[in-house]
Chain A
Amino acid sequence: MKLENMYQEIILDHYKHPHGKGLAEAFDAEVHHVNPTCGDEITLRVSRGTDGKFSVSYDSMGCSISQASASIMFDQINNHDFKSGEAAVDHLVAMLQRSVEADEDVLGDGIALAGVAQYPARVKCALLAWMAWKDAAIQAGAESQLETRISIDSNKEQN
């Protein structure tokens, strides 16, 4: 196991220069998710366009993995419809559970988060922003599966 597997250059880049950070004024739903074990926090807003696509804005504080992951989430699912965003979230979850090969078409730079799977304590950090997006999109009216709800709840559990 090597630290560099998790902290790849591209992750550190997103961490130091996050994409899309900053909250939009207008929104249809806002959520605040925290990772109480390490104090990572994200506030995320979505607006649902007439075309069914969700624009995302967020503000967050936390460790390199959570911050990089939020930046990648923005790249991958901003202005996507729920179906495609949810597919990306589910793919990320599966990758972090090591049950699928990472697909760059779905996750973009997110494939560099694969190394996180070796450190179970960090999986929550990597999922924080994505789960927040799912929660916000559902609150803004997107239809989800039961499974989705379960995974959102499990990310919210407190210590």
Chain B
Amino acid sequence: MATLDVAAIKADFPIFKRTVRNDHRLVYLDSGATSQKPFQVLDAERNFYENHNAAVHRGAHLLAEEATDAFEHARANIARFIGAQADDLVFTKNATEAINLISYSFLNATLKSLRGADLPKGVERFVLAEGDEILVSEMEHHANLVPWQELCEKTGAVLRWIGLTEDGRLELSDPSLFNSRTKMVAVTHQSNLLGTVNDVPAIVKLAESVGALVFLDACQSVPHMPVDVVALGVDFIAWSGHKMLGPLGIGCLWGKSEVLSAMPPFISGGSMIESVSMERTTFAAPPKRFEAGVPMAAQAVGMSAAVDYLNALGMASVAQHEHMLTEAALAGLADIPGLRIIGPENSIDRGSAVSFVLEGLHPHDVGQVLDESGIAVRVGQHCAKPACIRFGVQATTRATFYIYNDLEDVDALVAGIYSAKKFFGV
């Protein structure tokens, strides 16, 4: 496993050429929200537009062929990155849309079933009856909570959730959460607020014992650690390109092929059909069934370049680098009087999202003082309000680390927090 050469990596990211407030160097600790982009990704996207731009899967001309090739090559490359087959990878706008795709598949299957429609084989798994259960956890990002709440409200299914222990781990000791009514288990791989990396094999085992499907929110794992969907044993994962060096506006849903084949479509229109008459339509096989309209080919090409970039570094090295920074950050923060880590205090089964609160200082004010010296963190509830409530905090300050961060950035964070305390006299 190679150690990362952060100086060389930084040189690939044009954004680090600029300075921020008061001419400070940029200390970017907000990759959990979105990552910065290397020129390799920007160039790939630009090259697509400059040389191969056409509508994918349409047209009989050379450019259309090249665009389609580039798009499908990107799909295969991204699929390989998570140990999957190209046909099982669906492009979406982002992870949020991917999760809605699944929840609306449930809704659409349920509605069609209520009308007595003739359902293709396998769809039963997506038909919800009143009293069926969907299981999430208390640490979910709103993107993996609200769609399930909505689905329950519309179908009469019941939303249940796995609670959290004091140190920010899943409380898996209540076996009744997994029962014969559980149809779907949707949990995060790594919490964007707490940093916790969840015990996926344990969840899969419990879900399998009751025949429930398992969705894993991989937004904070695929960019940061090696992920192999086959080894994980889950039914679906989703993540966004923009948090893994890729462009905005593209995300992925991966699903086991037998599961995707059974799912009714979410968004309908062009491209996703097999045959259309005025009376009825039959749908294409996955992944096209879930990709209505002209797809985001340039973004797919950019995301594929991001995968190449990460592969060249090696995901094990990426994970190790972040682990080293996380350990240093946790150690540095632990010494600050009045600071409380929200989430695991040690670096075991933990990613680089480090959230904290300071006695007598509001996160927004902490963020402001840090920003004044060029340190970009996120403050607020991080789209995980229930977890904030669970830990009795209104908001937190969160630092997240990635490949272009180094120990100097950790030191800058720690020093910045001391300045904030001094500035506000706490």
A12 to B363, CA, bound (A): 15
- Render A1-39 as a binary contact track against B, CB cut-off 8 A, 1 for contact: 101001100001000000000000000000000001111
At the interface, yes or no: A42 with Cβ under 8 Å from chain B? no
A41 at the interface (CB under 8 A from B): yes
Interface pair B394/A39, CB less than 8 Å apart = yes
Are B424 and A64 in contact, CB atoms less than 8 angstroms apart?
A: yes
Q: Kindly count the residue-residue contacts between A and B in the assembled complex, taking CB atoms under 8 Å apart.
A: 50
* New A-B pairs, 17, CB < 8 Å, besides A3-B423, A7-B423, A38-B363: A1-B21, A1-B372, A3-B369, A3-B372, A12-B424, A37-B380, A38-B364, A39-B381, A39-B395, A40-B364, A41-B394, A61-B394, A64-B362, A65-B364, A65-B365, A122-B368, A125-B364
A43-74: which have CB < 8 Å to B? 61-65
Determine if A63 and B365 form an interchain contact, defined as CB atoms under 8 angstroms apart.
yes
Contact B394 A64 (CB under 8 A): no
- Name B's A-contacting residues (CB within 8 A): 21-22, 362-365, 368-369, 372, 379-381, 383, 385, 388, 394-395, 423-424
Q: How far is the CA of A61 from the CA of B395 in the complex (A)?
A: 10
Residues of A within 8 Å of B379, CB to CB, are: 38
User: Most chain-B CB neighbours within 10 Å: which of A37, A38, A41, A61?
Assistant: A38
**Complex Cα distance A3/B395, Å?**
22
Write out, one digit per residue, whether chain A residues 103-134 have a CB within 8 A of any chain B CB (1) or not (0). 00000000000000001001001000000000
Contact B381 A36 (CB under 8 A): yes
Chain A residues within 8 Å of B381, by CB: 36, 38-39
User: Is the C-beta of A154 less than 8 angstroms from some C-beta in chain B?
Assistant: no
Q: How far is the CB of A8 from chain B (nearest CB, A)?
A: 12
5 nearest A-B residue pairs (beta carbon): A63-B364, A39-B395, A63-B362, A38-B380, A39-B394
Chain B residues, CB < 8 A from A61:
394
- Pair B364/A62 contact, Cβ less than 8 Å: yes
Which chain B residue lies CB-closest to A67?
A: B362
Is residue A145 contacting chain B, with contact meaning CB distance below 8 A? no
CB-based nearest B residue for A64: B365
Q: Does chain B have a CB within 8 A of A99?
A: no
Minimum CB–CB distance from B421 to chain A (whole Å) comes to 13
Minimal beta-carbon separation of B137 from chain A (angstroms):
21
In this complex, the member of B362, B363, B379 whose beta carbon has the largest number of chain A beta carbons within 10 angstroms is B362
Residues of the B chain whose Cβ atoms lie less than 8 Å from the Cβ of A125: 364
- Residue contact B394 to A122, C-beta cutoff 8 Å: no
Contact A39 B21 (CB under 8 A): no
A28 to B343, CA, bound (A): 42
Q: Which residues from chain A contact B22 at a C-beta distance below 8 Å?
A: 1
CA distance A34 to B253 in the complex (A): 33
Chain A residues whose C-beta falls within 8 Å of the C-beta of B423 in the assembled complex: 3, 7
Q: How far is the CA of A3 from the CA of B21 in the complex (A)?
A: 11
9 A-B pairs whose Cβ atoms sit less than 8 Å apart in the complex: A3-B368, A39-B363, A39-B381, A62-B364, A63-B365, A64-B365, A119-B368, A122-B364, A125-B364
Measured between beta carbons, the chain B residues less than 8 angstroms from A7 are: 365, 423
With A3-B368, A122-B368 known as contacts, the answer to whether A62 contacts B362 (CB < 8 A) is: yes
When distances are taken between beta carbons in the complex, the residues of chain B under 8 Å from A41 are 394
Closest to A62 in B: B362
In whole Å, how far is A70's beta carbon from the nearest beta carbon of chain B?
Answer: 13
Q: How far is the CA of A12 from the CA of B423 in the complex (A)?
A: 10
Chain B residues within 8 Å of A37, by CB = 380
Question: Beta-carbon contacts of A62-100 to B below 8 Å, as 1s and 0s?
Answer: 111100000000000000000000000000000000000
- Closest Cβ of chain A: how far from B393's Cβ, in Å? 8
Taking a contact as CB atoms under 8 Å apart, the answer to whether A39 and B388 are in contact is yes
Q: With a CB–CB cut-off of 8 A, which chain B residues contact A63?
A: 362-365
CB distance from B200 to the nearest CB of A (A): 29
Give the complex CA separation of A110 and B381 in angstroms.
Answer: 28
Chain A residue nearest to B381 (CB atoms) is A39
B149, chain A: closest CB distance, angstroms: 15
